[in-house]
Amino acid sequence: MEAQLRVQHPKIGPDDHFVDVVQVLAIFFVDEITLPSTYEQFRTTSAGQKLRDLVDHLVLNVTNPVLISALLSVSRVVVGESPLTDYRRTLKWHFSALETEDPRLNETRATACELVASRFLTRLSERDAVDACLHKIPRLSGLQARTTSSLSDITERSTLLPRYRSQDGTIRSRPGSSRREDLQEAVNSIAAVSQPTNQNNKGKEDPTSAFIGLTGLQIAVVADCKRFLSQALVQKIVTGIWRGDIVFWGNLHEHARKKSQFYHRSQSDPYSRLRVPRYLKISEFAFFVTFLFFYSAVLVEHNMYHVTVSEGLLYIWLASFMCAELSQFIGAGTMVYAVDLWNGFDMTMLLIGAAFIVTRLIGLATHNDKLIDTAFDILSLEALFMVPRICSLLSILPYFATLIPCLKAMIKDFFKFMVIVGILYLGFLTTFTLLARKSFTLGEMSWTLTRIFFGGSALGFAIMHDINPTLGPPLMVIFVCMTNILLITSLVCVMRQSFAKVFANAREEQLYVYSVYVLEASTSNSITHFYPPLNLIPLLFIQPFRLIFSADQLRKVRIQVLKISHSPIVGLIWIYERLPWKVYKSGEQLFSSHIPQTTQILIASSKAKMKGQSTVHSHGISGSSSGEDLCMVKPSTQSELEEKVEALSAQIAELAALIVKSQDKGRA
């Protein structure tokens, strides 16, 4: 019985691939987390004891650099709330058995994963935490891919994830898991049916494949791990990236590779400072300000028949903006790119700009004045998104960073609520249009009801007899009461609840927005980053030679062109960082290598325990295995057990006293 109740911690080797680590961790959390719990319960009650033991085990026995990434990705895949279809299928091969259980279990397991990742990170030194959070997940090698492929030959009698479940020949039995075992055969058959027949399909089915190439912090952003990101240590890392204390490109040469490292002023290339998110965002702000200037000049001139200088510059700015956005999308990836709200503004601005250019050129070619006017009208819509985009730099401020997720939540709930409004509106519109078919057209009635919905009740009462002398008045009263009282009040309550829910976690929301803002600017895998509109130079003069020169030669040329074109910008950065009042500290000075005291105590106690066990073992080998020696060991174990029982009894007594006290307060 004791063997069944003993927790089997996951065995993770130092060289295990990310996919393998995710599978092992997923199995552990499915087996051990069987009851719904909240984050606070995991932190403060005995429900989190297994997680505390797991953290100790990971600290002592696991040195795999992808551990943090795996924990956060398991947190993501357990919940399965991604807008992408592939993530709804994540770990389907063994999470399918959970469909008949409490739906809160998946959320509980996701919370447990995030909590374990947070606690494990606090047990590391600051430098080790930087390496753990910024380690890029490698791709599967050819041998690993073939090994994984060989495991895909599943039959109806195969166990789930046989590499880990059946390595001892049996499946570990656990009390209370009979229902899960009963469902196992059905789940195996489902997995066998869904298993792809070729390697390409397999890559699409594997839910962990989308995380390949990302770092732990990027996965935390994608997985919406706001508690993890709000930790002081994680925020210190994010701030280090923002300020350039942590860089990914120390030197610019054709053989350089992207790797997280601390910035050293004496060793790093000055041109690597062009990749610092703080300077990237400042240049982005300057670009949008000039963009707004050319945009305003074009609309003020409103030249119907010629392309002016300002309009030509606007075209250049739009082209460079499109090039920069495409590079950002390719570098960040779909998941990270979709997280940032401002990228939606960028895409909308590009669509409006493209529509303006196409309409404008067609109008000029056909000498169609009406079409040209329409083109300028389309361009005027650009300001709706450009002005907020210019002010996106305010996202780094706590107040504005908190309002952004509040607005996002309110907009989502607003559109959900508008579905009900639309259904009711269409019902009344159909009825009123048919009743007033001799007096009002469909368009007139639609606009009239819209005005009534937004507060024009007097207009409705004025025309209710014209609609129908008998049914018009009562129907109009019902419509006015439902729209101006019931629906509007309900909408306000829903929006207020959404705002309060997000604002209750204001600090987490603010730090999440800040983290997204910083990480989105540091995800590019390209060694050279040209600021717009200078990014058109490599597009026009270097990219066409890709078929003639090798990749290393083109890379070398890009680096030289970057240094020539961006030397004034680098000069300004150099002057700014060497101002007299700015104190320089290298990244190694800012991030300590000291191991936390809790980890030191844990390691010391583990060594003492192992030493004690080895001492007892040596006594047994030396021939002291008599009854006397066994009796000497037994009282020690018994005394430890008695101490644990006494401590547990004291905790139970304290808990009972708290319960009685709370009941007395409730009665009072």
Residues 407-443 have pLDDT tens digits of 888 999 999 999 999 999 999 999 999 999 888 899 9
Q: Is residue 146 part of a domain?
A: yes
Give the domain-ending residue among 227, 258, 285.
227
| 407 and 437 both lie in a single domain | yes
User: Please, are residues 73 and 208 in contact by the beta-carbon 8 Å criterion?
Assistant: yes
The whole-number pLDDT of residue 143 equals 47
| 543 and 506 both lie in a single domain | no
Q: Is residue 523 part of a domain?
A: no
Angle at 92 between CA 91 and CA 96, to 5 degrees: 125
What distance in Å separates the CA atoms of residue 342 and residue 281, rounded to the nearest whole number? 12
Q: Is residue 53 part of a domain?
A: yes
Q: Is the pLDDT of residue 646 over 80?
A: no
Q: Is residue 522 part of a domain?
A: no
Confidence of residue 257 (pLDDT cuts 50, 70, 90): confident
Concatenate the DSSP letters of all residues of 42-82 into one string.
HHHSGGGHHHHHHHHHHHHH---TTHHHHHHHHHHHHH---
Q: How many CA atoms lie within 13 A of 518 on its CB side?
A: 27
Phi and psi torsions of 7, nearest 5°: -80, 130
What is the mean pLDDT of the segment spanning 587-592? 84
In a 10 Å sphere around its CB, with 0-12 CB exposed, 13-18 middle and 19+ buried, how is residue 255 labelled?
A: exposed
| 505 and 566 both lie in a single domain | no
What distance in Å separates the CA atoms of residue 521 and residue 100, rounded to the nearest whole number? 42
Return mean pLDDT, the chain: 80
Token pair 């025309």 in the structure block, residue: 463
Give which of 130, 313, 362, 127 is closest to 238, Cα–Cα.
130
Residues 487-519 have pLDDT tens digits of 989 999 999 998 998 888 888 988 998 998 898
| 37 and 178 both lie in a single domain | yes
More confident residue, 378 or 642: 378
Q: Is residue 661 part of a domain?
A: yes
DSSP state of 246: E
Give how far Cα 69 sits from Cα of 125, 203, 211, 456, 593, Å. 17, 19, 9, 55, 21
What distance in Å separates the CA atoms of residue 304 and residue 308, rounded to the nearest whole number? 10
Q: How far is CA 665 from the centre of its chain?
A: 43
Q: Is the pLDDT of residue 4 over 70?
A: no
533: cis peptide before it, omega within 30°? yes
| 72 and 203 both lie in a single domain | yes
| 183 and 295 both lie in a single domain | no
What is the mean pLDDT of the segment spanning 594-601? 88
The secondary structure element, H or E, covering residue 262 is strand 261-262
Give which of 285, 319, 522, 533 is closest to 389, Cα–Cα.
285
| 383 and 436 both lie in a single domain | no
| 406 and 383 both lie in a single domain | no
Strand partners, 271: none
The amino acid sitting at 543 is Q
If DSSP codes are grouped into helix, strand and coil, which group holds residue 148? helix
The whole-number pLDDT of residue 141 equals 62
| 329 and 318 both lie in a single domain | yes
| 254 and 137 both lie in a single domain | no
Instruction: Provide the residue range defining the domain that includes 569.
Output: 236-275+530-590
The secondary structure element, H or E, covering residue 530 is none
Domains held by the chain: number:
5
Residues 561-584 have pLDDT tens digits of 999 999 999 999 999 999 888 888
Tokens of 435: 């009743």
What distance in Å separates the CA atoms of residue 33 and residue 44, rounded to the nearest whole number? 16
User: Please, are residues 378 and 356 in contact by the beta-carbon 8 Å criterion?
Assistant: yes
Phi and psi torsions of 197, nearest 5°: -95, -10
The whole-number pLDDT of residue 584 equals 81
Confidence of residue 662 (pLDDT cuts 50, 70, 90): low
Give which of 161, 51, 12, 7 is closest to 97, Cα–Cα.
161
Residues 532-567 have pLDDT tens digits of 999 999 999 998 988 888 888 999 999 999 999 999
Q: Is residue 366 part of a domain?
A: yes
DSSP state of 504: T
Residues 187-211 have pLDDT tens digits of 343 333 334 434 444 444 455 667 7
| 176 and 69 both lie in a single domain | yes
The percent of residues in the chain predicted with pLDDT above 90, rounded, is: 39
Q: Is residue 174 part of a domain?
A: yes
More confident residue, 252 or 92: 252
Residues 355-403 have pLDDT tens digits of 999 999 999 999 999 999 999 999 999 999 999 999 988 888 888 888 8
The whole-number pLDDT of residue 665 equals 55
If DSSP codes are grouped into helix, strand and coil, which group holds residue 668? coil
Angle between helices 18-32 and 67-79 (to 10 degrees): 60
Give the domain-ending residue among 547, 574, 590.
590
C-alpha R_g of the chain: 32
The whole-number pLDDT of residue 348 equals 95
Residues 43-98 have pLDDT tens digits of 888 888 999 999 999 999 999 999 999 898 876 555 444 433 333 333 333 333 34
Residues 232-246 have pLDDT tens digits of 999 999 999 999 999
Q: Is the pLDDT of residue 625 over 70?
A: no
User: Please, are residues 535 and 439 in contact by the beta-carbon 8 Å criterion?
Assistant: no
If DSSP codes are grouped into helix, strand and coil, which group holds residue 261? strand
The whole-number pLDDT of residue 581 equals 83
If DSSP codes are grouped into helix, strand and coil, which group holds residue 247? strand
Helical spans, DSSP H, in 367-468: 369-380, 383-390, 398-435, 442-453, 457-467
The whole-number pLDDT of residue 520 equals 83
Give the domain-ending residue among 488, 517, 546.
517
Q: What is the pTM (predicted TM-score) of this model?
A: 0.76
More confident residue, 542 or 625: 542
DSSP state of 283: H
User: Please, are residues 423 and 483 in contact by the beta-carbon 8 Å criterion?
Assistant: no
Give how far Cα 147 sits from Cα of 162, 167, 206, 530, Å. 12, 15, 14, 42
Angle at 222 between CA 217 and CA 224, to 5 degrees: 95
Q: Is residue 60 part of a domain?
A: yes
Residues 154-193 have pLDDT tens digits of 444 443 333 334 334 433 444 444 444 443 443 343 333 3
Helical spans, DSSP H, in 216-276: 216-222, 226-229, 232-243
More confident residue, 74 or 275: 275
| 74 and 221 both lie in a single domain | yes
